[in-house]
Amino acid sequence: MEMELRLAPDHAARLLRVPLLAAAGKLRSQAVRIVWHDSPDAALAADGLTLAQERGIWRLERLVPDGLAWPPGAPAPIHAQATTLESLDHAMPLAVPAVAAFVGRRSGYAIETDEGAVTLWAWRGALRAVEHEHPACRLHLSGADAAVRTVALALAEALPLEVPRGTLAAEGLAAARASTLPARRLGAPAVPEGLDVAGSFAWVVGHLTDVILHFAPAATADNEGTEPVHQMRVAVRRLRSAISIFRHALDSPELAAAASDLKALGQRLGPTRDWDVFLGETAPQVAAAFPSEPRLTRMLRAAQRQRNVCHAALRDYLHGPAFRRLGIELAWLAGARSWCPITQEADVPVSLPDFAATLLDQRLRKLLTTGEEIEALDATGLHGLRLRAKRARYAAEIFGTLYPPRPHLRFVERLGTLQDRLGVMNDRATAAALLAQLGPKHTFAAGLVLGFIGAGTTKLRPKLMKAWERFRKTPGFWG
């Protein structure tokens, strides 16, 4: 397999001091100059493409995925290449001036591991545009799956090495245009047709890893609002659910390790998001209802301090080595296939439609069984029902493209409405847990908040029951 990793440029000089490379055999070193072109209106970039020129060869490369399997950290797919621009089998804009370039050197190393040989190419240089230049360093690893993982993780122990959020071309073009890197993927994953069970899981892992990595920088910033943390948390939940979905058919120690690390990330995102929701949505409503209550004001200041603590802990984690290693592990799971042979258990359907139908049946049955006595469920019971609804929805999102769109959209829409209603009903329990962290000195203000929320959630019971009945009568879209 091939994997490309980004090294913080100010640490590039340390690369050769890493014992793994100090003992490696040196390959040739050569100058590198890559120039990327596009039309003045960025027509190629709008199609997710860029035109590269290197050593007399023109290449049309992808900048972002177009629905095809392109795992995070894998080299960009090449659509076409030729010695002349006119020979490329692709319609070009009338003018394609140079926009950005990489100028530097490429040095090769041959590394031997117990799992096999790995070739590593270190690209060191600068990304240049008309008015901008900044250093860049990428490492390109190729070899057997297990060997690439071993080398990548060993280097990551010694250096701040990470899976890049975009290609070198995308980074250069973004710098030239003073824009942000385009997101490789966003939202919920939906497997394309034609994949087997293992391929579908790899595609889902790649998609959600892209989402997690895309939002990580904004989640650590102070001026990006609450949405990046929310989107990261949803992506982590979807990925943990996907692992649960596929794990009885695909399993390995590497998958178990990634699942454990995702849980650790979720444990930092969860409290941060809960405080964001409390202070951004719940608290303003309560403050508006009791504008002159000083004890409520003091309690909200304490809540803000607690929120700041959670954000600081999340920021430290996302800037640290554990998160970088998690990115590498997930990118490896998405790009390697040697780790995930289908189990041979008799009760595991091998075809993807059979696998999907069995799984969707199971999740729907558990949801309906849990909700049989919904009118009598207390807060804990409703929370359990909400978790079942989430798991059913995540599975429906993943496999929806295998079935006719109209019944799938109807099912997901009604399930989403039910999930939203249950989420609002859960707000009181979440708020109670958060307020308990503030201590007994804020008991009066906490009582105001919980009473306010309780009065609102009581009114929502009829809406919840309506959403449940509507969903309960909705047939499964998988037949």
30-66 pLDDT per residue, tens: 999 999 999 999 999 999 999 999 999 999 999 999 8
In angstroms, the CA 18 to CA 188 distance is 39
In angstroms, the CA 226 to CA 223 distance is 9
pLDDT bin (cut points 50, 70, 90) of residue 307 is: very high
pLDDT bin (cut points 50, 70, 90) of residue 348 is: low
- Tell whether the model's pLDDT for residue 293 goes beyond 50: yes
- Tell whether the model's pLDDT for residue 361 goes beyond 90: yes
Element (H, E) at 333: helix 321-335
145-173 pLDDT per residue, tens: 999 999 999 999 999 999 999 999 999 99
- Return the residue matching tokens 């189990």: 343
201-227 pLDDT per residue, tens: 999 999 999 999 999 999 999 888 899
Residue 233 CA from chain centroid, whole number? 9
- Tell whether the model's pLDDT for residue 343 goes beyond 60: no
Q: Domain spans of the chain?
A: 2-184, 237-472
- Return the residue matching tokens 């960025």: 42
Across 265-281, average pLDDT: 95
Beta bridge partners of residue 82, listed in sequence order: 58
**Angle formed by the axes of helices 352-370 and 379-399, nearest 10°:** 160
Among candidate residues 278, 277, 203, 270, the one with its CA nearest the CA of residue 242: 203
Identify residue 424 by its one-letter amino acid code: V
Across 180-187, average pLDDT: 94
Classify residue 190 by its DSSP letter. Answer: -
257-285 burial, b at 16+ Cβ within 10 Å, e below that, comes to ebbebbeebbebbbbbbbbbbbbeebbee
List the alpha helices (DSSP H) in 82-226: 145-158, 168-176, 197-220
Indicate the length of the chain as a whole number.
479
Identify residue 320 by its one-letter amino acid code: G
71-129 pLDDT per residue, tens: 999 999 999 999 998 889 888 888 999 999 999 999 999 999 999 999 999 999 999 98
E-only strand ranges, 256-413: none
Fold category of 2-184 in CATH = mRNA Triphosphatase Cet1; Chain A (3.20.100)
Report yes or no: 235 and 215 within 8 Å, Cβ to Cβ.
yes
Could you say which architecture CATH assigns to the domain 237-472? Alpha solenoid (1.40)
pLDDT bin (cut points 50, 70, 90) of residue 344 is: very low
In angstroms, the CA 296 to CA 304 distance is 12
Give the chain's mean pLDDT. 92
Across 422-434, average pLDDT: 87
* Residue 346, pLDDT score: 44
E-only strand ranges, 322-393: none
376-402 pLDDT per residue, tens: 888 889 999 999 999 999 999 999 999
E-only strand ranges, 268-353: none
C-alpha dihedral sign at 86, 92, 95, 97: negative
Choose between 346 and 279: higher pLDDT: 279
* Residue 224, pLDDT score: 85
> Which residues, in sequence order, are CB contacts of 282 under 8 Å at separation 6+?
427, 431, 449, 453
